[in-house]
Amino acid sequence: MEVLRIATAGSVDDGKSTLIGRLLYDTRSITDDRLEAIDTASKRKGLDFTDLSLLTDGLIAEREQGITIDVAHIYFSTPTRKYIIADTPGHVEYTRNMITGASTAQASLVLIDARNGVVEQTRRHLYIASLLRMKDVIVCVNKMDLVDFDALVFDTIREEVIGIAEQVGIAPRTLHFIPVAAKEGDNVVASSVHTPWYKGPSLLGLLEALEPGKGKGDLPGRFPVQYVIRPSQDAFHDFRGYAGKIGSGRWAVGEEVVVLPSLRVATIAAIYKGEAPVDRAEAGESVTLTLKEDVDVSRGNMLVKSSERPYPEVTTFTARIAWMDEQEMQEGRTFLLQHGAQVVKVKVLATEEVLDIHTFRKAADKKTFSLNDIGTVRLKSSRTLFLDRYAENPANGAFILIDEFSNNTVAVGFVEKF
């Protein structure tokens, strides 16, 4: 059955957890004992209704403060499709968690409180959706019951979001707008009698109708080698396998591949899933490959299709980064860059741009990155990297930066040009 991955986004208290809880409740995706536990927890909080947001807020701190801190993955299904929803934090200091949760999603669900309209986090989350090249961006104007389901409020927010989308490069055809009141379920699973002026589908109706985007199996073939398998048993003394998780593409026995960085050409002799040989495998599957030719392949190397080679000699490149650390990033600093199984040292040659989230233009005279800043940098690596542009192959065009002293992940990056 087809799987659709969705990430929520929005400012704090916009009602993301409640919306997801309502979606689960109205699709009967909650067990009776789970619902009873949530009902008990709601009464303990002194509420006279079942707080469906508690279905996704799993941390004690989240339930005490009424906010989402960590990323919660929620699974449910309908007769036609399976869903994985990443409920991500809305608070500005947890934006890094939102980026993590959205990194594997095909669609972004952006909530806006009808009373507050577009706020700074809305702008930031729309920009991140553009940065991650989401196939669909669904804007739910929530808490419409608190503005008397006023169509003018909805239309005003809609027009403002369309203007922002044009600025950040979100195509109009990828945008969807739904007026909802998550607490009572208006336009979540079923259409609401309170919005006769809205002629579109409910949220679930839209999700059911979305077409899946281009999968990783349709992208150029990339296989980062994580481990070289050489059994110690005499019966397998000639076996040499290359294990890892297929990054992108579809792979088959008999195909010609190129080993990076050596550029040696070889042919796939066998593919194993566990101990079972298979003829084919595709992106997302963990496999072991063997090659007919005796070529040197090590951990951190990459196998690519002969007809789909990336830029083989990349040491200097430009990337868009989202800064995720309390300590500022300055030009000239060095970090560890992790890309697949590769970990190399890189230096920030130049800060080309730090984005002003209010105007989506370059912040004047700013050369340092603070927490949650987004911008463009020029990087130089100590060794060759096997990269694609993120726009051409997201599976092989993203990386993280790690502080070499604290070992903290400080940024996520997206390759733009070489």
Domain range annotation of the chain: 2-214, 217-305, 314-417
Name which of 240, 256, 237 is nearest 289 in CA terms: 240
Could you say which of 3.90.1150.10, 3.40.50.300, 2.40.30.10, 2.60.120.260 is the CATH number of the domain covering 314-417?
2.40.30.10
Helical axes 95-102 vs 120-131, angle rounded to 10°: 30
Could you say which of 2.170.190.11, 2.20.25.90, 1.20.1250.20, 3.40.50.300 is the CATH number of the domain covering 2-214?
3.40.50.300
Name which of 397, 384, 385, 380 is nearest 334 in CA terms: 380
Check the CA dihedral 198-202-208-210 and report its sign. Answer: positive
| Three-class DSSP category at 50 | coil
Say how far apart CA 112 and CA 125 lie, in whole Å.
11
Beta-strand ranges (E) seen in 171-263 are 175-179, 222-224, 227-229, 241-245, 250-252, 256-260
Say how far apart CA 311 and CA 260 lie, in whole Å.
10
Which residue type is seen at 239? F
Fold of 217-305: Elongation Factor Tu (Ef-tu); domain 3 (2.40.30)
pLDDT, position 382: 94
Pairing between β-strand 72-77 and β-strand 82-87 as defined by DSSP bridges:
antiparallel
Instruction: Specify the pTM.
Output: 0.80
pLDDT, position 244: 93
Which residue type is seen at 364? A
CB–CB of 57/90 below 8 Å? no
pLDDT, position 89: 64
Residues in the chain: 418
pLDDT, position 121: 85
Task: Confirm whether 217-305 and 314-417 share one CATH topology.
Answer: yes
Which residues on adjacent β-strands are paired with residue 207?
Answer: none
Pairing between β-strand 107-113 and β-strand 3-10 as defined by DSSP bridges:
parallel
Check the CA dihedral 407-412-414-418 and report its sign. Answer: negative
pLDDT, position 96: 61
Residues of the chain with pLDDT under 50: 58-69
pLDDT, position 95: 59
The tens digit of pLDDT for each residue in 289-340 reads 999 998 999 998 999 998 888 776 789 999 999 998 989 998 999 999 999 8
